[in-house]
Amino acid sequence: MSVNEWLAIGMLVGFFGLLMAGLPVALTLAVSGFVAGWFGFGPLLFNLVPARIYGVVTNYTLLAIPLFVFMGVMLEKSRLAEDLMEVVSHLAGSVRGGIGVGIILVGVIMGATTGIVGATVVTLGLLTLPALLKRGYDKGLACGAICASGTLGQIIPPSLVLILLADIMNESVGTLFAAAVIPGLMLAALFCLYILALGVFRPHMVPPVSVDERAAMGRAELMGKMLRVALPPFGLVLAVLGSIIAGVAAPTEAASMGALGSILVTALGRRLSWATLWATMTDTAKITAQMMFILICAQVFAIAFRGLGGEQLVHDAFDLLPGGQAAEIWFMLTIVFLLGFFIEWIEICYIAVPLFLPIFQAQNVDLVWIGMLVCVMLQTSFLTPPFGWALFFLRGVAPPEVKTGDIYRGVVPFIALQVAATVLVFLFPTLATWLPGAIGW
């Protein structure tokens, strides 16, 4: 190997070393890229950096990010999950595991409207975890269901993961949104089936709602509240996603309408105020700035790695793999899974995916299918210890009797289900490709 290729390997090692030392991810990307690139090429390599940064900050597609973030934060401030959980608790009835299934369904709705893992996990943790424990639910299962449902927003569109993957893979956002619908709902269905199966085989872990609690709200009152709670967010999601998938509006245009719609939904719920609007704008600015800073620093890393011959190293590593294309895909997914133990999805997207993408492009593999495989596997990065962010969020709001070990134990079955969903998408590519093809994307 050449000196530059050794520098590329050293850059990867240095990145993980700085990360384990506790430095912010954005800075580790920039520092490792600048140092390795300087030793390899001097200042010449970084003449490309301003142009790359300009390309990031002027990317029209990425303008959808702050708008979708605003929509999500505004709906989170409207306390949508609180109302939904009250309705779900009464609808669960006498079904064992009914409330657990309800939490997953709320996660689907929150994921499609807010898409913010931290907000969903924290909200569900505060609202449902003490109630689940009081009803006799297993601690691990309750924690696992809350964490898993909170991550669904990263695959169910409109998802920030899908927007970034569309930019990296040079695919249409609408195409990836359409491709993610079936895998996302399938993953939610697997979670629900697991909880219902526990209700059959281990009923003591998922007791039903008591008769007195179900009788506390009349049928007419329940139906009226369900319509008030469920229809506005469903209508908003259908309007946003439908306009994108149908080709009526670009993602950025639909996101702007979603942001406006979130204000209207919050106003209809009589929870809109200047304080809420200001808090939403502040949080949106913080989240967007954090994401864009990581994207900018990732450009330095990408330029240095590519300039030092890192892509050729990846090609050579793939050539050594036995088993052909299938082995190459699973090698990539394994790397994504392992990276999920240590770093967040946004870094995985901008580090791992660009390394492997040219190989599959050269083989004419359907990139929409590859994108969905990556997206489903990325779900595990939110749940895998020790750095799964959903675990941290829940730990911060869990009652004292819930130990960290309970949370880690509870997420293991849901991680296995996410891997199983990845296998299903791999074995049946039409799960990802049928809907985009059916609507003409």
**Residue 289: CB atoms within 10 Å:** 11
More confident site: 13 or 80: 13
Kindly tell me if the per-residue pLDDT of 424 is higher than 90: yes
Average the pLDDT over 272-285 and give the result: 87
Average the pLDDT over 217-242 and give the result: 71
Q: At what angle do helices 98-113 and 139-151 cross, to 10 degrees?
A: 20
Q: At what angle do helices 25-41 and 274-307 cross, to 10 degrees?
A: 20
Enter the tokens of residue 127: 């609202």
pLDDT number for residue 428? 94
Spatial separation of the C-alpha atoms in residues 132 and 207, rounded to whole Å: 9
Positive or negative, the Cα torsion across 387, 65, 144, 188? negative
Spatial separation of the C-alpha atoms in residues 157 and 408, rounded to whole Å: 27
pLDDT number for residue 418? 92
The mean-pLDDT minimum among 12-26, 82-96, 283-297 falls in 82-96
Spatial separation of the C-alpha atoms in residues 374 and 96, rounded to whole Å: 34
Enter the tokens of residue 165: 């993957």
Of the pLDDT bands very low, low, confident and very high (cuts 50, 70, 90), residue 212 is low
pLDDT tens string 325-348: 788 888 888 888 877 776 667 777
Enter the tokens of residue 293: 């800073």
Spatial separation of the C-alpha atoms in residues 436 and 426, rounded to whole Å: 17
pLDDT number for residue 250? 75
Report the Cα 68 to chain-centroid distance in Å.
13
Domain spans, the chain: 3-438
Q: Global pTM?
A: 0.77
CA proximity to 339, closest of 323, 328, 355, 318: 355
Spatial separation of the C-alpha atoms in residues 389 and 54, rounded to whole Å: 30
DSSP 44: G
CA proximity to 154, closest of 348, 26, 345: 345
- Yes or no: say if 384 and 334 are a contact pair by the CB < 8 Å rule: no
Residue located via tokens 């050293």:
10
> What contacts 47, CB < 8 A, 6 or more positions away?
none
